[in-house]
Structure 1
């Protein structure tokens, strides 16, 4: 293949060690399809702007089509990146007098920045689709477990009664925000750097808006220096992936804990579990543990990106080559983790009896009992807190007489003489009564939980529609581009 890059300014070639150190070909496989699309769009624009002839345009597009059909395996991997390898292959196919014109008005700097954005926006759409599938799984399990009572925890200690639906809706809420962050980031990713050239734009009469439209971008990234050098969109994407993985890690930790014999709240489906090589009775929640572990790798990618981009002067620097493998690993891990978590949640076997039994331990109704004292007797909450706190040292199911005894020692008055009845005490100690008293917005009461699930589904529907609109636009633009290519060929 043609040595089109080093033959002018440089008189020697790197040895194998330097070549392996410098090459990005292994990581560039992510952007092969995007690179072909960029070449198609750029070539079409060059012809339409009278920078190349119709014959040259036809030959270049035909060569690119052949390269596309052969795939990345047809390229020479001895080059330092996919862009030069692809262009060299084109020149070998159609000759330098024709193929050598394709790169007019652009640089690898704006080319690679465009390819990264095209690939990343596709992956981000896939990630948002997987997030919404996980949201559906959480809402479905929530609807099936509105009355499944379990202890809520603070500091991993039994705190107050809640429901599994209320618990899973908390995770659904965090994932809804994750979707919002991803959708918002998409707007900043889907900006076109093509036409910025090396960093100072070009003297050719190019039409940046035309290539932007052909490639499905929402707008151009205007300043040419900013266009080729900025990688803030990678940092933003890695940050939102880190946030998603942190949320998944929380879910994973609960799945691991709840699967243990000590909790016995849930059992994961066999396909998400492993067994021991020596202990035949074991069923281990390995997929959840791996998601928990892989969150560290995604966070590590974010730290790498931040460190690589820190203090880089404008405009393009080769350091940025090290940024892309981090974002590809980050995205691949996050997409897969979200997908697997959706499968885990949708196939969970819930042990309702174990959850309900656990709720009887730890005096989870103490808060409601203190609140009941406030409502029925008019004493300050802090006084009620002291009374019930004192009682909790000895029992988790006090009688009215026991409450009176402790209250008298603290306030010199009995609660029964101030309006507290045995029914008040009985209701306060009932976990289900506790839950249904909490019918404020976002609470665990049955009616409020149903309202919340329906509200989540409504918002999820809107998110799905917005996502489909983005995806449909990209599909239409690629189809339009290929029709233009076909017409010019």
Structure 2
């Protein structure tokens, strides 16, 4: 039976239902490595400051190292009767090394301890998620290079609008992912402050060295205010917001893949390894991966709303409500990693049906803007050219023609500046290749976008190597 750390004040045991309700060991146990790492740094600082004996600190560190090794190997299991990971580790330590273990919690509260553990854990998870985003970004860049000349319809309002290339489309998502990486990096920069030493809320009465523990744990500095140190969860909220935006981007991409692999579009074919079938309809090939990502996006958004709602009414400093932060942010972390690990290989292995994309781009008057631009470049005001082109589109619809097949005499009836050069001007390849403006779909423009993404990835790699 685990003794409560706060047992001295109470005259009877807590009701078993309260123990179960209060316990967090089932989910905060994942922070065992961070909890032990923080405790080892704390013990060393206590000895360096003469607060505990050096021999006790040595026993504590050796005992903690043994617990860490046993937990990693599976030789030691978490006890579900423990209130939380902090109590489990401390009481296991005391069982192993005796009274020296009871000195570990000197000049420390679980309030600053859990704040430290969560920051350490999330900093490590950010690095893993950034690596997964980089892998997806590399995949998009590779696919964009392959499809510089793969023409497809660009859409607004889910209506065919103007011709673009698949490479241009892929690079739109590449830019979203680069912003996602920036947000994660920005969120991580605000985790550079160490809360250890803030105590319960008002610091401690011992001559601790917070700069030393911050440095030992890889932080830039201690948190400046002890009340803020134990009650701040901005970093978790901010990180979850970045996750929710990342998932929103994955969800938008997933929605398009769902459309593209339908018979109504048939722009792509998913690899059999990343699709599922139906229990009753033998012809079905379902994009379940992308549908689940679309659904799980709501889950991560819900995690963000949980964190914001949990924090909005909490007075300073620590309150038990804040125990709820971990399940939400842990779920967001797990969901983002799961989705990225599945989405990237699915994208890499899908087959692009280029001819279907081009055929779709040839329909729907996607070159109407180019037709209007043809007149504008000959001096006709754009609004007038727009009106003339609109009337030509109406004629085509009435006659069952396209702008490419509309006779020249019909063009010239609409405006005398039309001549035989209208046809090459509104050809699909021309419509795409002439859009050389910065950020546009012309292959030369997309190549520059690819170069920017590759430079971004190289910068990320340098930072990772430097770190």
For the criterion TM > 0.5, the same-fold answer is yes
Pairing 1:264-343 to 2, within 5 Å after superposition: 264-343=266-345
Residue 3 (structure 2) aligns with:
3
In the alignment, structure 1 residue 393 sits paired with structure 2 residue 394: yes
Residue 44 (structure 2) aligns with:
44
Residue 86 (structure 2) aligns with:
83
- The unaligned stretches of length 5 or more in structure 1 are 408-413, 471-489
C-alpha deviations, 1:156-180, integer Å up to 9, x for none?
Answer: 1110111000010000011001001
Residue 475 (structure 1) aligns with:
none
Match of 1:441 among 435, 438, 443: 438
Deviates more, 1:59-68 or 1:205-214: 59-68
SS in 1 for 2:395: coil
Residue 225 (structure 2) aligns with:
223
Residue 202 (structure 1) aligns with:
204
Residue 148 (structure 1) aligns with:
150
In the alignment, structure 1 residue 456 sits paired with structure 2 residue 459: no
Residue 428 (structure 2) aligns with:
431
Measured in 2, the distance between the counterparts of 1:296 and 1:30 equals: 24
State the shift of 1:372 in Å. Answer: 0.6
Pairing 1:84-483 to 2, within 5 Å after superposition: 84-96=87-99, 98-376=100-378, 378-395=379-396, 396-397=402-403, 398-407=406-415, 414-415=416-417, 420-423=418-421, 425-470=422-467
C-alpha deviations, 1:401-443, integer Å up to 9, x for none?
Answer: 2122234xxxxxx23xxxx3211x1122201101111111111
Measured in 2, the distance between the counterparts of 1:230 and 1:140 equals: 41
C-alpha deviations, 1:328-366, integer Å up to 9, x for none?
Answer: 000110122122221122112000010011111100000
State the shift of 1:2 in Å. Answer: 5.5
Deviates more, 1:77-86 or 1:131-140: 77-86
State the shift of 1:86 in Å. Answer: 1.4
State the shift of 1:447 in Å. Answer: 1.3
State the shift of 1:270 in Å. Answer: 1.4
Residue 399 (structure 2) aligns with:
none
Measured in 2, the distance between the counterparts of 1:328 and 1:450 equals: 38
C-alpha deviations, 1:254-279, integer Å up to 9, x for none?
Answer: 11000011111001111211111111
TM-score for the superposition, normalised by structure 1: 0.91
SS in 1 for 2:9: coil
Deviates more, 1:205-214 or 1:292-301: 205-214
Measured in 2, the distance between the counterparts of 1:75 and 1:283 equals: 43
Relative distance call for 1:152 and 1:94 in structure 2 (3 A) is: same
SS in 1 for 2:459: helix
Question: Is the 2:2–2:82 Cα contact (8 Å) retained in structure 1?
Answer: no
Question: Is the 1:193–1:228 Cα contact (8 Å) retained in structure 2?
Answer: yes
State the shift of 1:4 in Å. Answer: 4.8
Question: Is the 2:35–2:117 Cα contact (8 Å) retained in structure 1?
Answer: yes
Relative distance call for 1:156 and 1:2 in structure 2 (3 A) is: closer
State the shift of 1:66 in Å. Answer: 2.1
Residue 62 (structure 1) aligns with:
62
Measured in 2, the distance between the counterparts of 1:440 and 1:89 equals: 65
- The unaligned stretches of length 5 or more in structure 2 are 397-401
Question: Is the 1:118–1:190 Cα contact (8 Å) retained in structure 2?
Answer: no
Measured in 2, the distance between the counterparts of 1:197 and 1:11 equals: 26
Aligned residues: 457
Question: Is the 2:23–2:82 Cα contact (8 Å) retained in structure 1?
Answer: yes
TM-score for the superposition, normalised by structure 2: 0.95
State the shift of 1:17 in Å. Answer: 1.8
Measured in 2, the distance between the counterparts of 1:105 and 1:255 equals: 55
Question: Is the 1:114–1:193 Cα contact (8 Å) retained in structure 2?
Answer: yes
Question: Is the 1:229–1:315 Cα contact (8 Å) retained in structure 2?
Answer: yes
Measured in 2, the distance between the counterparts of 1:388 and 1:187 equals: 53
> What CA RMSD, in Å, does the superposition of the two structures yield over aligned residues?
1.3
Question: Is the 1:142–1:166 Cα contact (8 Å) retained in structure 2?
Answer: yes
Residue 476 (structure 1) aligns with:
none
Measured in 1, the distance between the counterparts of 2:88 and 2:29 equals: 12
